[in-house]
Amino acid sequence: MGKYVVKRILSAIPLMLVISFLIFMFIHLIPGDPARLIAGMDATKQEVETIRRQLGLDKPLMAQYFIYMKGIFHGDLGYSIKNNAPVASVILPRFKPTIILTICSMIWATILGVFLGIIAAVRRGKPLDYLAMIIAISGISVPGFWLGLMLIQFFSVNLGWFPTAGLTMAKSYVLPSITMGCGIMAILARFTRSSMLENLRKDYVRTARAKGMSEPKVILKYAFRNSLIEVVTVAGLQIGGLLTGSVMTETVFSIPGLGRLLVDSINFRDYKVVQALLMFFSLEYIIINLIVDIVYGFLNPKVRYQ
């Protein structure tokens, strides 16, 4: 097991380095001179040069990359032009809303998705199966931002049950969580269904039934238990994408989280913040996938020995 974990971690490190380098390069490719931007349009050439030297922009690109990466490990992500503050201090307060939203949407989406999947598999070919699968495929196809706007219009404006925007109270998390979790609920429902169908065909299920075991027990204790490993893996893989999903949801509901910050920073051309956020999102994605991989290997010995 130890060998497997080390191997997986070692294979992820070069990927992370390449990604961080690519993002760094891409941000540098954007036309425009940051030194000139900070100095202002009427600054003299001398002043621009001084700022360029202060920012380290006169050094070769590779050197700049190493300085940046060294900075990351010291908590220095650069300076945000728009906020006139260090990038780290701009990003940190934005974590809380996004993470709470991610957790809330993950919880309801997993519970409902798995439930729908089991019901659909057990009642295969019956109206309940069709209903569950219609809900699931709609969940995959609906544009999240539109769903959010519709929920606001119906539940906040017409019925007045929830606030229309922002995060003023616990209730404000309800509609954004529904919007954000919808796709994952759908993916999990479809996946649980197919995994359950496969397991329900297995010999041990037939044996359990032949023994006279009650149907709920066969389904939950035998078939579902065996589907669980795969379902948990798929659910885990979705978390990485969820943080990014926050981009749309937070924009619709005006929530001051990481996703909204990314959109705002792109619009204001605050590239140091964009760079830091892109790095964070993609590294977070790799790390979560890595953790899921390791947990999966832990749960399923077959994978470990491949």
Partner 1 sequence: MSTVTQTADEVILSKPEGRFKQFWKKFLKRKAAVVSLIFILLMIGVAVFAPIFLKYQVQAADYNNMLAGPSMKHFWGTDEFGRDVFTRLMVGTRLSLFSALISVVIGTVIGVILGVLAGYYGGIFDSIVMRCCDILFAFPDILLAIAIVAILGPGIINVIIAVAVFTVPSFARIMRSATLEAKEEPYVEVARSIGCSPRRVLWKHVFPETVQSLIVNFTMRIGTAILASSSLSFLGFGANVTEPDWGAMLSQGRNYLNSAPHMVICPGLLIFLTVLAFNLLGDGLRDTLDPKIK
Q: Alpha-carbon distance 112 to 33, whole Å?
A: 50
Residue 91 CB, nearest approach to partner 1 (Å):
16
The dihedrals phi and psi of 79, each to the nearest 5 degrees, come to: -120, 130
Q: Is 267 in the site for partner 1 (CB under 8 A)?
A: yes
Q: Which of 101, 185, 223, 243 binds partner 1 (CB under 8 A)?
A: 243
Alpha carbon separation from 86 to 76, 91, 186, 283 (Å, rounded): 8, 9, 40, 21
Which helix (H) or strand (E) is 163 found in, with range?
none
With CB under 8 A as the contact rule, which of the stretches 46-54, 64-72, 103-111, 280-288 interacts with partner 1? Answer: 280-288
Q: Alpha-carbon distance 38 to 105, whole Å?
A: 40
Classify each residue of 126-138 as buried b or exposed e, where b means 16 or more C-beta atoms within 10 Å of its C-beta: eeebeebbebbee
Half-sphere exposure of residue 216: CA atoms within 13 angstroms, side-chain side: 0
Q: Which of 2, 3, 10, 29 binds partner 1 (CB under 8 A)?
A: 29
Residues 75 and 88: beta-carbon distance below 8 Å: yes
Residues 35 and 57: beta-carbon distance below 8 Å: yes
With CB under 8 A as the contact rule, which of the stretches 43-51, 80-88, 202-210, 237-245 interacts with partner 1? Answer: 237-245
Residues 285 and 244: beta-carbon distance below 8 Å: yes
Q: How many residues bind partner 1 (CB under 8 A)?
A: 43
With CB under 8 A as the contact rule, which of the stretches 91-99, 166-174, 218-226, 278-286 interacts with partner 1? Answer: 278-286
Q: Is 153 in the site for partner 1 (CB under 8 A)?
A: yes
Q: Is 135 in the site for partner 1 (CB under 8 A)?
A: no
Our CB check for partner 1 shows the closer of 29 and 210 to be 29
Q: Is 245 in the site for partner 1 (CB under 8 A)?
A: yes
Q: Is 197 in the site for partner 1 (CB under 8 A)?
A: yes
Sign (positive or negative) of CA dihedral 152, 176, 104, 91: negative
With CB under 8 A as the contact rule, which of the stretches 14-22, 71-79, 89-97, 109-117 interacts with partner 1? Answer: 14-22
Q: Which of 152, 180, 255, 273 binds partner 1 (CB under 8 A)?
A: 152
Our CB check for partner 1 shows the closer of 104 and 252 to be 252
Q: Is 296 in the site for partner 1 (CB under 8 A)?
A: no
Q: Is 144 in the site for partner 1 (CB under 8 A)?
A: yes
Helix 2-29 vs helix 61-73: angle between axes, to the nearest 10 degrees?
130
Residue 74 CB, nearest approach to partner 1 (Å):
24
Q: Is 240 in the site for partner 1 (CB under 8 A)?
A: yes
Three-state DSSP class for 79? strand
Q: Which residues contact 122 (CB under 8 A, 6 or more apart)?
A: 196, 200, 219
Q: Is 143 in the site for partner 1 (CB under 8 A)?
A: yes
Which helix (H) or strand (E) is 46 found in, with range?
helix 45-55
Q: Which of 274, 292, 293, 297 binds partner 1 (CB under 8 A)?
A: 274
Site residues (vs partner 1, CB under 8 A): 15, 18-19, 22-23, 26-27, 29-30, 137-138, 140-146, 149-150, 152-153, 157, 194, 197, 240-241, 243-245, 247-248, 251, 262-263, 266-267, 274, 278, 281-282, 285-286
